[in-house]
Amino acid sequence: MEALHLAKILLWGLFLHRCIVSVDSAVGVNWGTLSSHKLPPAVVVDLMRENKIGKVKLFDADPDVLRALKGSGIAVMVGIPNELLAVLASSIAASDLWVSQNVSRFMVKGGVDIRYVAVGNEPFLSSYQGRYQSLVLPAMLNIQQSLARANLGGYIKLVVPCNADAYQSASVPSQGVFRPELTQIMTQLVSFLNSNGSPFVVNIYPFLSLYQSADFPQDYAFFEGSSHPVVDGQNVYYNAFDGNFDTLVAALSKIGYGQMPIAIGEVGWPTEGAPCANVTAARAFNQGLISHILSNKGTPLRPGIPPVDIYLFSLLDEEQKSLLPGNFERHWGIYSFDGQAKYPLNLGLGNGWLKNAKNVPYLPSRWCVADPSQDITVVTNHMKLACSVADCTTLYFGGSCNAIGDKGNISYAFNSYYQLQKQDSRSCDFDGIGMITFLDPSVGDCRFLVGINDNNSSCTGCGIFCGLWMMALWVIIYLRVMSSL
C-alpha cells in the first residue's frame, strides 16, 4: 500500500511539473459562456491551443468546459459565482462538496491544470451595496481548508477578482486608497493572499472611463502617449492603465503591502455598442496593452515589474450578457461568437496574428429576411418581439449594422431571431412578412450571422451536480433548524 501511495504521489508530481513548465505565457483570456450560440468547448480549447494561449479564466466551473480542458496544458482559473458565497461561507460541508465536484475530480493525471480558484467576481462592487462584503473571507477560509483536505492547498491559490472601484484617488495615483468602508476587509484579504502566495487580482477598464466621462482625454485611454498626461510629482502618466494600476499600488502601500503581486483579471476594449467602441479602437488598445505589458517596463511606482498575469476580456462575444452597462457589453471578444478573429492581433506568444476556430458546427447557410413584396410598415411589433429575445445591439448607434436602412434593420432582426430558434422555419413567418433565403444578405461590415448547431453539447453530469447542491442546501437548512430548537 505504501508503494502504491508513493507511486501516486510521483505521478501527481510529474503531472504538476509538466503543467508548470508548459505554461509560461504572460497573456491569457477570459472565457465567458453567456451565449445562445455556444461553440463546443472542445472547439474553443483547440482555438486557444492553436493560438498558444496558455492561461484561461472562467467565471464558474462548468463541467463540460473543464472536461474539454483536460490534458490541454492550459493553466485554469475557475470561478465561484457570488450567489454561492453565502452557502460556502456558512458550511464547511458545502465547501468540501464544491471542491470535490469542481476541482478534485478534474485534478488527476492528464486532467485539468487548475491554478487558481476565484472566490466571487467583483464582490466588493459599490453597486452591490455591501451584499457580499462579509461573505468573502469566510468563504475563502472554508475553501482553503477544503483544498488542504484534498491535498491541493499548496498548489491551487485562492484569489478575489476586484473591480477598480474598490480603490480611489482624489487626483493623482500616489494618493490612492481603498474605499473607506473596505479598508479593514481589504487589509484582512490582502494579508490572507500574501500569506498564501496569491496575487491581488484587479479588473481595469480604461474604456469605461472614456465611455462614462465626456471630459476624459481620449488619447489617455490608449498607449501611444497623451497630450493630457497626469503629473504626479516626479512621475508622469501617459496612459490610464498605468495610472489606475499605480493607484492600486498606492492603496496597497497604505495598508502595508506595497510589494503585493498584482494580476489583471479583466482588461479589454469592445468593438461595438458605443461611439468609442469599434474595431480600430479595440485593436489599438489591445495591441498597445500587450506590447506595453510584454516590454516589462512596468509603471512609475513599479518600474520593471509588470503584472504577474493578464487576462484579456474577452475571448468570445457573449450576446446574452446584460445590457445595463451599455450595448457594448455583448461585444468585448477578440473573436466573434463563432471563433472568427475580428481584427489582426498579435498576443505576443510567438504565434503571429490570431488564428480562427476550426471545425465550427454552423447551421446550414440560410437566412431569414423581410419579404420585399410585403408591406413592411406593420413590422414594429414583430421587430420588438425578435429583438426582445435575440441580440439586435449592432443595429443601434455605434453598431456595425446601424446604417443599413429600415429594410435591412428588419431583416437583421428577423434573422437574429431565426438563428436563435435554430432555423425553425416557423420562426421566420412574422405573419407572412418573413422569408427564408439562401443568399447571404450581409452588407459591408454588417454581418448577418448563421447560428451554431450545439445540439451535441449536452451537460452530462449537470443534473447530478445540481442535485448534490440541493442536497447540501437542505442539509444546511436542516442543521440550522435543529440547532435553533
pLDDT in tens, 86-119: 999 999 999 999 999 999 999 999 999 999 999 9
Mean pLDDT of 460-485: 44
Predicted local distance difference test score (pLDDT) of residue 376: 84
Q: Looking at per-residue confidence, does 467 or 358 come out higher?
A: 358
Q: Is the pLDDT confidence value at 460 over 70?
A: no
Q: Are 314 and 32 in contact (CB under 8 A)?
A: yes
Predicted local distance difference test score (pLDDT) of residue 24: 35
- The contacts of residue 7 (CB under 8 Å, 6+ apart) are none
CA distance 198 to 162: 14
Q: Provide CATH code, domain 25-330.
A: 3.20.20.80
166: nearest Cα among 222, 244, 232: 244
Residue 159 identity: V
Q: What is the DSSP string of 83-136?
A: GGHHHHHH-HHHHHHHHHHHTGGG-STTS-EEEEEEESSSTT-GGGTTTTTTTH
- The contacts of residue 363 (CB under 8 Å, 6+ apart) are 419, 422, 423, 450, 451, 452, 453
Q: Is the pLDDT confidence value at 415 over 90?
A: yes
CA distance 330 to 278: 13
Q: Is the pLDDT confidence value at 10 over 90?
A: no
Place of cell 486608497: 177
Determine the straight-line distance between the first and last CA of the chain, rounded to whole angstroms: 46
**CA–CA–CA angle 162, 263, 53 (5° rounding):** 115
Q: CA 403, 386, 437, 327: dihedral to nearest 10 degrees? A: 40
Q: What is the DSSP string of 230-277?
A: EEETTEEE-SHHHHHHHHHHHHHHHTT-TT--EEEEEE---SSSBTTB
Predicted local distance difference test score (pLDDT) of residue 456: 54
pLDDT tier, 467 (very low <50, low <70, confident <90, very high otherwise): very low
CA distance 455 to 36: 12
Q: Which three cell numbers stand for residue 65?
A: 468546459
Q: Which three cell numbers stand for residue 218?
A: 481620449
pLDDT digits (tens, 9 = 90+) for 248-293: 999 999 999 999 999 999 999 999 999 899 999 999 999 999 999 9
Q: Is the pLDDT confidence value at 63 over 90?
A: yes
Q: Are 296 and 304 in contact (CB under 8 A)?
A: yes
pLDDT digits (tens, 9 = 90+) for 305-324: 999 999 999 999 999 999 99
Q: Is the pLDDT confidence value at 206 over 80?
A: yes
Predicted local distance difference test score (pLDDT) of residue 483: 53
Q: Is the pLDDT confidence value at 8 over 80?
A: no
Q: Is the pLDDT confidence value at 353 over 60?
A: yes
Mean pLDDT of 324-342: 97
Predicted local distance difference test score (pLDDT) of residue 9: 38
Q: What is the pTM of this model?
A: 0.89
Strand pairing report for 262-267 and 302-303: unpaired
Q: Is the pLDDT confidence value at 2 over 60?
A: no
Q: Looking at per-residue confidence, does 460 or 341 come out higher?
A: 341
pLDDT tier, 378 (very low <50, low <70, confident <90, very high otherwise): confident
* All structural domains of the chain with their residue ranges: 25-330, 367-437
Q: Is the pLDDT confidence value at 1 over 70?
A: no
pLDDT digits (tens, 9 = 90+) for 15-54: 433 333 333 337 999 999 999 999 999 999 999 999 999 9
To the nearest whole number, what is the mean pLDDT of the chain? 90
174: nearest Cα among 247, 66, 87: 247
The residues assigned a catalytic role are 122, 266
Q: Is the pLDDT confidence value at 388 over 50?
A: yes
